[in-house]
Structure 1
């Protein structure tokens, strides 16, 4: 499960896009994040807009959906949807915009399209401003819109990670990790001696599977909002370790093993771009196996709240193995150069 949840503001006109907004909001929830919008204010006024600005301030990302209406306007003739958009831009929010394909717009019924020439002109100018200087996706129907929103948000989470929200217990663990890192700097020599001693305490287990033994991993993914599909794939223990090892130089909560492996599977194409969610039993087995190999270690420490937290970290032996496996060697560099030519 994700430790951090992002809040996403969904902005659009209301009455003509009720179903589209619902599917987008469900898509955000399916991603494990928090949607926010103006569902409570279908007839917005300037006082309510002051409140909405505060909601936008609390959000990490801003999603704009534009169709065939400019929307209700303030006294100066600017629509509240455009005012929300301009405020999000001025506030430095990550803005992701979706504009209805002009071919589809031309076929929409008159009841959900502006026909007044002055208002249409305002809408076209607004769309031109939105589509200048940023990547804008065109959408054709509810399904294409929700898929595009999910895909764009996933990319934004990777490229522009926001502050997000975390549980108090997770934040406490992060504070503890900061203290651990500070102590490591102050006591570098003592820490090095401790690591050497711990590296000598690798579990000796008879008949343990080799690193190249395949392991079946079962996971689920969402193929559409509200639906999950169960499937599986096979990885060797060597592949599993190398997928998570680069992120374990500092102490991490054990559940992060699943997060890092899920991210690796998505980015490497093993799950065809889908976001996998591993069953907890496989995360536990992976942790136990990597500890048994002596590649990672487990330890516990006291948290700020007075309880105890559990962490995992790569061992010196695991770090050496990772470097030996992942380093680009001279013969590989030569082959890469020839391939590039």
Structure 2
């Protein structure tokens, strides 16, 4: 027989364990989904695992947005335990850091036979809008100049302005975006305002030629055009929100099209919409990535850029899609499709939480697309 005193204690212990199930206070559960999580041990465990996976990412705005959208559009729309378990399993896998990438060597890359082409598909990546640009008066050009992960945080440098004919250079503002949470609303820091900016031999071209602006050892170096005949080197320490300083160190590096290149890419012009082909310095011959006039795709490539860590290059086809070509497994995938009248510009690869990702401009907005699970 249970004495009244022992019964009260047992009830209190039971209530306490219930209240601390899952990653939130179950005594304050306010929705049917939350109550289902609290009274189902398997869901409570999954909720705790998700909380642990998200904890090291909570200061990154990209993952805060992804987590909020997942709660609203996936978890909170489930009506069954099975649906919730599947939703949790998928999100835990997505938030879990991927293992270190195994770098390939030239021996791993083989040419396709002449009668073969890359397997082509379309698979949308998770897309997050990071920030809108100030879009001040007289803005006609925007360039994403550099994107780099530093201590697990994404830093992006952007130019917004116009071409100054008298100066023979672009004039406008330099901005830094840091993907730090919380930022409400997300903002960009103005590095420099109304300056003549010299970033590359052919800034904005399909191949920029040599680049004169870039990130080195946690700082962004660039050249400021004073007159047609005068320049000065400048440096800005990323994430400092400090005024840039003059620098005697000048950067000169390969274009985005050739930097980190494992091979070369050949493609047609707007008049011919030709095939896409690749060749490699360690072997003779070439392989066809995609033939001319592929159904639904007239190939007109802009902004090819190689990954720093993977046997992959990315490019825009026209102005509203981003494609990914993997030269190891011979796949060609459309990963981003734009909408509306805004143009996509400057797809730039980064690795975030071990995952493959692309940062890009979509009109006046900075966005990131992250690869989903295979």
Give the TM-score normalised by the residue count of structure 2.
0.22
Give the TM-score normalised by the residue count of structure 1.
0.23
- Per residue, is there more strand in 1 or in 2? 2
- Per residue, is there more helix in 1 or in 2? 1
